[in-house]
């Protein structure tokens, strides 16, 4: 039968908005979310659907909100820059002839559930919402968006059970017990993922579980008994309605493809340059260069082709096989999905590629670090390569550099990706030279691939015993706080339920609600000023410890390997400023503002016989401001080793340096960092707790006394408006289309980007250069670079190398760039990450 694809519109456009850099249409309207949505939709055409629909939520409350007024109450409103793109997307889908389906009183999930259940043919649901897993059946699969808009996980009954230990009919039972923080579904207090999964596996339904409650022992029984009402509420909230009336059938939502010329015109108006070049999308538009596809070859033939490679090749390896471009010809070696398939098994394919991968022939590849990790599974190294994706990221990170076909389209290429990759390699060589990016690419970004690959493999050791002890201690504290809160309240209740908590605090306890509204909120903004009430203070402590325990203790356990080492993944090409990101887990996000949060760093330890060494740049962005602006006062302060915040305090308060008070210095520190981030007088007044007039006086005095900074910021904005981008001291570009937006808010955002990106980007370039230098100096040593957190590097150092490693770390970091003021590094050493500070 014909295939039906139904898309969760809100899920996909939200994901696209946060995954992609800003993009604007010809009229200045933001369009990156629409572009990302379209990129994903076009990839779905590979499934050859005959029918397609996109379901959206409406603002009107649904039956879930009417039953539980705190349903999704913790969700932030849609940013203005995204909200303006929603009608644009719906108009574009309509022009494309794709059905837009929405119904007041129901969520997109309910629309999807109803339409999917009524179509008997193969159905794919595209969403990032795990609620959809309950809809999987013999004909329905979920295409679950995992990262950004490019990685999708195809889930059927088997893979759902394998990955999540759940069957579709148990998804709602699991949510009834564990809840769902993203939707504010409360679940049963004290029951987490592991317990909920175990109970869902054991019982056929929630009714069956509670019918057997007397056979459940200990604290679990108490939790379930206390949370019975919440469990049934959560079950109703989590269950998708599959009987929504008045919706079209899948057969009434035909997909007409290729699209018409009017769609290409809309793509052009929206600024989708890479899409309008793809001739296959439209009924009348020719691509500039059509490249030949790969010829499928046997293992023996492929080995013969590899043996011929002497100069350069383009190499692509994915789950389907190996693609190779050599002398204008493309070759494809399939990897068997089963014993009955033609081709080679994966081990044979990797052995066939070994001499080429490890040899001196230049390999044009796409996303080298991912390829290196794939090859490493078979003990195959990748040497002498050129990363096309990485080069495009430097040339223009606003382009969808994560897709070979998208980058090909940007340069007017279509067809075979292996031959396209070779063409892109040749184009990139010229572009890097044209934009003076050769040094940044070849001396920093390309060698950093090897550094990050090694850091990810090495990982960071965690003290498992301390982790368990800390989690247990927090659990005991949470249990004690729970009892104390119940004593203050006079009865037990679900502390995690905002509705129940609000009733206890503002109705039963009669704590004065600080706003006129009767729609009580229990957000931190509301409760923090009420800490003078003991029950509120206990609730805030309860929340804080619960968050720490669930996110940073229990959440870390499944990520540890057999040696209790956690291996984060570093994203080199994610941010527009060039900063590295850390994911799964995000080790750059360990809390630092509270002592309890900082103590989590005690769990991260060196390997046996080693010590941790941490080095952190001191005020690198302010030093870069001194360098870029040449401001005489800033430069002299840093060259003389003075205190920049005290110096600033003296200037803006017009007092001698020895008259600066600690409060003056703290305020000046906020001013210093606020200025480089383009903070307004209102923002500064909020940060310092002063009047906007006083904040404005501070800013005016700052610019009067540090006139070089004012000139630099004005010039940065002027340059960006004239050229459309700004650059770091190493020529990294960031394009700023927002400066031409018709929206005042967008233009002001663009000006802040123009002021700050050269500072943030230069700081990112400098620490990357330091990482490469440190890695090179550590070759042959037992010590390993294991983590980067923005301006900080951490080494797991052998004790007998510690003094030497500490000195080389400082030397490499302080000499990573030549500025007119010195770079300074603060270094620490200890038996845990916490001890390094």
Low-confidence ranges of the chain (pLDDT < 70): 1, 60, 65, 67-77, 147-150, 283-288, 340, 593
Cβ-based neighbour number of residue 18 at 10 Å: 13
Spatial CA neighbour of 560 closest among 674, 428, 681, 465: 465
Query: How far apart (Å, rounded) are the C-alpha atoms in residues 698 and 101?
Result: 53
**From residue 267, how far is each of 48, 255, 517, 738 by CA, in Å?**
22, 18, 45, 19
Element containing residue 634 per DSSP (H, E): helix 632-639
Spatial CA neighbour of 444 closest among 42, 817, 43: 817
pLDDT of residue 591: 75
Q: What does the block give as tokens for 223?
A: 């939790």
Query: How far apart (Å, rounded) are the C-alpha atoms in residues 514 and 532?
Result: 13
pLDDT of residue 255: 84
pLDDT of residue 287: 44
What phi and psi, each to the nearest 5 degrees, are found at residue 701?
-65, -40
Query: How far apart (Å, rounded) are the C-alpha atoms in residues 756 and 552?
Result: 31
For residues 808 and 781, the answer to whether their CB atoms sit within 8 Å is no
For residues 542 and 505, the answer to whether their CB atoms sit within 8 Å is no
Q: What does the block give as tokens for 636?
A: 């002299």
Structure-derived torsion over alpha carbons of residues 534, 539, 541, 545, reported in degrees to the nearest 10: 160
**From residue 820, how far is each of 529, 583, 758, 759 by CA, in Å?**
46, 35, 16, 15
Q: Any residues with CB less than 8 A from the CB of 158 and at least 6 apart, and which?
A: none
For residues 100 and 92, the answer to whether their CB atoms sit within 8 Å is no
For residues 414 and 289, the answer to whether their CB atoms sit within 8 Å is yes
**pTM, to two decimals:** 0.67
User: What is the separation of C-alpha 287 from the centre of its chain, rounded to a whole number of angstroms?
Assistant: 34
Cβ-based neighbour number of residue 472 at 10 Å: 12
Query: How far apart (Å, rounded) are the C-alpha atoms in residues 618 and 209?
Result: 57
Query: How far apart (Å, rounded) are the C-alpha atoms in residues 668 and 665?
Result: 5
Q: What does the block give as tokens for 723?
A: 């050229």
Query: How far apart (Å, rounded) are the C-alpha atoms in residues 457 and 445?
Result: 19
Q: What residue spans of 548-581 are helical by DSSP H?
A: none
Cβ-based neighbour number of residue 293 at 10 Å: 14
Count of residues in the chain: 837
Query: How far apart (Å, rounded) are the C-alpha atoms in residues 827 and 612?
Result: 11
DSSP per-residue codes, 535-602 = HHHHHHHHHHHHHIIIIIIITTGGGB-TTSEE--EEESSS-SS---EEESS-GGG---SSHHHHHGGG
Query: How far apart (Å, rounded) are the C-alpha atoms in residues 670 and 778?
Result: 38
pLDDT of residue 285: 43
- Classify strands 460-462 and 565-566 as parallel, antiparallel or unpaired: antiparallel
Q: What does the block give as tokens for 70?
A: 């705190």
Q: Look at the block and give the residue holding tokens 């899920």.
A: 11
For residues 688 and 695, the answer to whether their CB atoms sit within 8 Å is yes
Rounded to 10°, the helix 802-814/744-777 angle is 140
pLDDT of residue 149: 65
Spell out the long-range contacts of 266-269 with Cβ–Cβ below 8 A and sequence spacing 24 or more: 266/92, 266/95, 267/38, 268/26, 269/25, 269/26, 269/27
Element containing residue 467 per DSSP (H, E): helix 464-489
């Amino acid at each position: 039968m014909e295939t039906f694809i139904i898309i969760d519109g809100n899920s996909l456009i939200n994901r696209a908005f946060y995954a992609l850099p800003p993009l604007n249409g010809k009229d200045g309207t933001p369009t990156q979310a629409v572009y990302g949505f379209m990129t994903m939709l076009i990839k779905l055409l590979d499934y050859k659907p005959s029918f397609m629909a996109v379901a959206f939520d409406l603002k009107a409350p649904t039956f879930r909100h009417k039953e539980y007024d705190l349903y999704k109450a913790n969700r932030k409103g849609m940013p203005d820059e995204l909200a303006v793109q929603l009608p644009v997307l719906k108009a574009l889908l309509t022009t494309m002839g794709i059905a837009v389906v929405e119904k007041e009183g129901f969520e997109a999930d309910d629309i999807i559930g109803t339409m999917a259940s009524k179509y008997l043919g193969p159905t794919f649901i595209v969403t990032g919402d795990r609620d959809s897993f309950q809809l999987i059946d013999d004909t329905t699969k979920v295409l679950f968006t995992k990262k950004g808009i490019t990685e999708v996980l195809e889930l059927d009954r088997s893979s759902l059970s394998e990955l999540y230990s759940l069957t579709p009919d148990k998804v709602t039972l699991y949510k009834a017990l564990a809840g769902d923080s993203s939707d504010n579904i409360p679940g049963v207090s004290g029951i987490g993922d592991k317990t909920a999964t175990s109970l869902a596996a054991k019982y056929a339904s929630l009714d069956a579980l509670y019918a057997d409650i007397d056979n459940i022992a200990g604290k679990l029984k108490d939790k379930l008994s206390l949370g019975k009402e919440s469990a049934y509420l959560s079950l109703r909230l989590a269950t998708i309605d599959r009987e929504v009336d008045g919706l079209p059938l899948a057969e009434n939502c035909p997909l007409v493809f290729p699209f018409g010329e009017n769609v290409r015109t809309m793509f052009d108006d929206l600024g989708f340059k890479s899409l309008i070049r793809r001739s296959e999308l439209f009924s009348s538009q020719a691509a500039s260069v059509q490249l030949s596809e790969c010829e499928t070859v046997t293992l023996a033939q492929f080995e013969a082709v590899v043996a011929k490679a002497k100069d350069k090749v383009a190499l692509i390896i994915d789950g389907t096989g190996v693609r190779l471009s050599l002398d204008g010809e493309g070759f494809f070696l399939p990897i068997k999905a089963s014993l009955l398939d033609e081709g080679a098994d994966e081990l044979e394919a990797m052995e066939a590629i070994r001499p080429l991968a490890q040899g001196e022939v230049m390999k044009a590849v796409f996303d080298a670090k991912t390829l290196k990790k794939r090859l490493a599974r078979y003990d195959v190294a990748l040497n002498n390569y050129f990363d096309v994706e990485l080069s495009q990221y430097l040339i223009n990170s606003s382009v969808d550099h994560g897709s070979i076909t998208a980058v090909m389209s940007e340069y007017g290429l279509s067809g075979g990706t292996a031959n396209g990759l070779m063409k892109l390699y040749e184009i990139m060589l010229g572009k890097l030279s044209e934009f003076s990016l050769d040094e940044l690419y070849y001396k920093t970004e390309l060698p950093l691939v090897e550094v990050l690959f090694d850091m990810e493999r090495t990982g960071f050791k965690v003290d498992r015993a301390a982790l368990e002890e800390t989690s247990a201690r927090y659990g005991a504290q949470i249990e004690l706080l729970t009892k104390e809160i119940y004593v203050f309240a006079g009865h037990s209740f679900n502390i995690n339920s905002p509705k129940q908590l609000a009733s206890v605090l503002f109705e039963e306890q009669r704590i004065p609600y600080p706003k006129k509204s009767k729609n009580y909120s229990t957000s931190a903004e509301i409760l923090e000023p009420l800490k003078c009430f003991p029950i509120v203070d206990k609730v805030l402590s309860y929340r804080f410890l619960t968050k720490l325990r669930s996110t940073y203790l229990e959440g870390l356990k499944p990520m540890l390997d057999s040696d209790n080492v956690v291996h984060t993944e570093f994203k080199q090409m994610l941010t527009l400023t060039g900063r590295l990101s850390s994911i799964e887990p995000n080790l750059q996000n360990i809390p630092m503002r509270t002592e309890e949060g900082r103590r989590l760093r005690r769990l991260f330890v060196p390997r046996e016989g080693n010590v941790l060494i941490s080095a952190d740049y001191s005020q690198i962005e302010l030093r870069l401001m001194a360098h870029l602006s040449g401001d005489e006062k800033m430069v002299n302060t840093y060259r003389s080793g003075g205190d920049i915040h005290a110096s600033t305090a003296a200037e803006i308060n017009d007092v001698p340096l020895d008259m600066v008070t600690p409060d003056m210095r703290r305020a000046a520190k906020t001013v210093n960092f606020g200025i480089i981030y383009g903070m307004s007088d209102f923002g500064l007044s909020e940060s310092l707790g002063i009047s906007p007039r006083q904040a404005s006086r501070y800013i005016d005095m700052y610019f009067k006394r540090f006139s070089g900074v004012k000139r630099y910021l004005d010039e940065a904005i002027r340059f960006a408006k004239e050229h459309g981008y700004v650059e770091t001291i190493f020529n990294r570009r960031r394009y700023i289309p927002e400066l031409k937006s018709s929206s005042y808010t967008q233009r002001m955002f663009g000006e802040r980007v123009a002021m700050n990106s050269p500072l943030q980007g230069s700081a990112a370039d400098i620490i990357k250069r330091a990482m490469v230098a440190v890695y090179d100096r550590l070759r042959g040593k037992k010590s390993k670079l294991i983590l980067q957190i923005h301006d900080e590097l951490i080494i797991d150092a052998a004790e007998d190398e510690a003094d030497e490693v500490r000195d080389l770390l400082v030397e490499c970091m302080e000499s990573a760039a030549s500025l007119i003021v010195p770079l300074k590094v603060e270094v620490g050493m200890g038996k845990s990450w916490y001890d390094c500070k």
